[in-house]
Amino acid sequence: MDEKFLNKQYTYINTLLQQKRLKDAISELESTFWEAPKDELNNIKMPYQYMLQYMLEGAQDPQRYTLYNKLVKDTLEYTDKVFCKELDKVSSNTYHRKRREESDKINSSTYLGLLKTLEGFKDELAVGDLINDEEKLNTVLARHEKALSDLFLKAWLSDTWSVADKEEASSFLESNLLIESDLSLFISAVTLASIQYFDAKKVSWLIDAYNKQSIFASPRALVGLVMIIHLQNERLSYYPELNAKISFLLEDPKVENLINSIYLQLLQAQETEKIDKRMREEIIPGMIKNASSLKDLKFGFEEGEDELNDHNPDWANSFENSEADKMMKEMANLQMEGADIYMSSFSMLKGYPFFYSIQNWFYPFEKNHSSVYNEFGGKDYKGSIVDLILNSGMFCNSDKYSLCFTFLHFPKMQRDLMLSQLTEQQMGGLEDEQKSMHLKELSKKPQIISNQYIHDLYRFYKLYRDHRDFKSIFSETLKFQELPQFNFLKKNSTYLFQIADFFLKNEHYDRAIEIYEVLKETNDFSFDLFQKKGYCHQKLKQYDQAITAYIKADMIKADNIWTNSHLAICYRATEQYDKALYYYQAVEKVQPENLSTLFYIGMCYTSMEQYDKALQYFFKMDFIKNNNKKAWRAIGWCSFISGKGKQAQRYYQKILNNKPLAIDYLNAGHVEWALGNLKKTVECYKQAIKGYGSKNEFIQFIEKDKPSLIKQGIPEADIPLLIDLLD
């Protein structure tokens, strides 16, 4: 059997089991592995046949559904086991290839034996340091790292744990001699293993690892548990005892709060590529200028620049108080919003030999690692800025290793200069002892540790040379609030608002609306909810829904300027100019000299063909602000379409004398044509063609303006003739 067939069959059988088609799944297993021993499968098949027979005979069996779920669970576990062993023989996937290559190492070592080696590391290292024996030190470091590698591979590549395996693994949680970094690596290996093939005992062990309450290991265990709950949620439903253990864990409000933070951090990590793209692809001012010159600037019933980024200022507090922004403030110059701003900087620094070994992507930064010990092992940089950086929450562990390896390639003088510059740019003067201690303390906060670990995971799933062989949570659509284990998110409006605000802030308006709908189900009919929901609908151009939401917000808190202005925008977008005018004028009462409001009131009057009233507002704009080209354009166009040709001519002449755009030459040409000045018309139109860059684009605008030209007395038959005159 080849790899493609096995993967296809594995997926198909799992789908059958998810659909509760147990009999069909058993038949597929029998036909796929017809040569394999049938004892284990018969232990599932026979009880199921008896159960069905009893049901047919009408027997009452209160344990029927419990037995059925157990049989499905046993079939799932059997399916994992038999397919894993077959794939080990033929698959090129990293997991199965490693199981082939490392089988002797996995089977020859024991968890207790590895624990004993790891527990002796601190004392052996201290002795080596004391006698200053470099050879002995290197031997100690090599033995420690070999044990770590063996432990990682054994845990990651192991079959499902037996009761004895779990007991041995639990010894790691009870040890007082094991350093926390080694336990953290073990946690990552167990997490990877449980994502690859579900193992209830490993998941249970991760809960125990969290309950150990280690500063660095516990948040890592919870991140792993959260990932498994999302990726293996279908499987969890067959393990009531494990679900009960998870429920008990979630009775602690601190755990709920940290899971909510982890959820937001995972969502924020998914924004990394977008942030990278923005950093790499800056839009040059010339492109913006060229793009803006192509717009129809007569009135532009599309949203104006002042409407494109128009979050309610009153929402600032809710954004600033999000988990990500709290970390921004606490971490001073970390300059992140949960998304990973350092990914692009460090992605090119993952080619060091250190990153060839998979376990090194998950090992917390340790200056006692052999790759850095000789340079950073408590010697040269003790108490220095590099020590501050590497012990802070500024960089994730993977990037700290990259930073070290990069420093080691520079001469000492250049290295010191580089560190000095890094200090000024990134640390903002945090080098004094008090701030240094503060930053180190912050680095021990669970939310900071989980965020660092998530960045480590993101790098592994994106940059490890065989990363495509791993199922990544960062490629998933995350909806933790819909998972039964995380039902507490749905019941807590504070959590829901944080999630919704994240989606709103990052322009995932459809997903934000989903959360606002859930908030409505909690009877949270707050003013903010309807304002933000309306804003999301507006950005999706769902104007009717936006209007409905804004009106509800207005009913809760009347005469809010922001609500009124956005109701006006939505009514204007749906060409309900009389209603738009009503809300713009409500804003005008409070802000009588707001130029944007005056402009849009004029637009509404123009669209309603009440040109004299429109001109009053455009003239008011011109009076309030000198040299207001936006007002001049509005006066010029409104004068033109209302038959005030001489007035239009005066204002377009002012515009043409002040850095005109292509559209200005076009409109000035219209005015001259209506006044009978054909030579001036041709002259203006030729300048417009130069501005647009092509005659075809110019003709498109002429076609669009044809009704206005005809209305001003220009014969329709003359339009193509004049276009030919331009050649």
Is 220 within 8 Å of 187 (Cβ atoms)? Answer: yes
CA dihedral for 233, 193, 162, 9, sign (positive or negative): positive
Question: Residue 113 above 60 pLDDT?
Answer: yes
- pLDDT at position 297 is 43
DSSP 498-553: HHHHHHHHTT-HHHHHHHHHHHHHTT---HHHHHHHHHHHHHTT-HHHHHHHHHHH
Number of CB atoms found within 10 A of residue 677's CB: 16
Of 30-44, 347-361, 428-442, the poorest mean pLDDT is in 428-442
Q: What is the pLDDT of residues 71-98, one digit of tens each?
A: 999 999 999 999 999 999 999 999 999 9
Confidence of residue 69 (pLDDT cuts 50, 70, 90): very high
Question: Residue 231 above 60 pLDDT?
Answer: yes
> Both tokens of residue 190?
């167990």
Contacts (Cβ under 8 Å, ≥6 apart) of 213: none
Is 568 within 8 Å of 584 (Cβ atoms)? Answer: yes
What are the domain boundaries of the chain?
3-91, 97-249, 327-456
Cα angle value 295/300/304 (rounded, 5°): 90
Helix (H, G, I), strand (E, B) or coil at 680: helix
Confidence of residue 298 (pLDDT cuts 50, 70, 90): low
- pLDDT at position 424 is 55
**Higher per-residue pLDDT: 566 or 391:** 566
Q: Which of 566, 496, 572, 503 is nearest to 538 (CA)?
A: 566
Mean pLDDT (whole number) for 16-45: 93
Question: Residue 236 above 90 pLDDT?
Answer: yes
> Both tokens of residue 212?
């150990």
Question: Residue 172 above 70 pLDDT?
Answer: yes
Of 409-418, 665-674, 685-694, the poorest mean pLDDT is in 409-418
Confidence of residue 337 (pLDDT cuts 50, 70, 90): low
Confidence of residue 384 (pLDDT cuts 50, 70, 90): low
Mean pLDDT (whole number) for 416-433: 56
Q: What is the pLDDT of residues 510-560, one digit of tens each?
A: 999 999 999 988 777 899 999 999 999 999 999 999 999 999 999 999 999
pTM: 0.85
Confidence of residue 305 (pLDDT cuts 50, 70, 90): low
What is the residue-averaged pLDDT of the chain?
87
DSSP 609-678: T-HHHHHHHHHHHHHHSTT-HHHHHHHHHHHHHTT-HHHHHHHHHHHHTS---HHHHHHHHHHHHHTT-H
In this structure, which amino acid lies at residue 382?
K
**Higher per-residue pLDDT: 436 or 59:** 59
- pLDDT at position 261 is 95
- pLDDT at position 326 is 46
DSSP 5-56: HHHHHHHHHHHHHHTT-HHHHHHHHHHHTTTS--HHHHHHHHHHHHHHHHHH
Q: How far apart are CA 385 and CA 377, in angstroms?
A: 15
Question: Residue 646 above 60 pLDDT?
Answer: yes
Q: How far apart are CA 397 and CA 400, in angstroms?
A: 5
Confidence of residue 274 (pLDDT cuts 50, 70, 90): confident
107 sits in which H/E element: helix 103-108
Q: Which of 596, 655, 603 is nearest to 625 (CA)?
A: 596
448-486 b/e (C-beta count within 10 Å ≥ 16 → b): bbbbbbbbbbbbbbbbbeeeebbebbbeeebebbebebb
Q: What is the pLDDT of residues 396-416, one digit of tens each?
A: 999 999 988 887 777 777 766
Confidence of residue 664 (pLDDT cuts 50, 70, 90): very high
Question: Residue 603 above 90 pLDDT?
Answer: yes
Cα angle value 377/378/383 (rounded, 5°): 135
Mean pLDDT (whole number) for 364-386: 69
Question: Residue 501 above 60 pLDDT?
Answer: yes
> Both tokens of residue 242?
């494990």
Percent above pLDDT 70 for the chain: 86
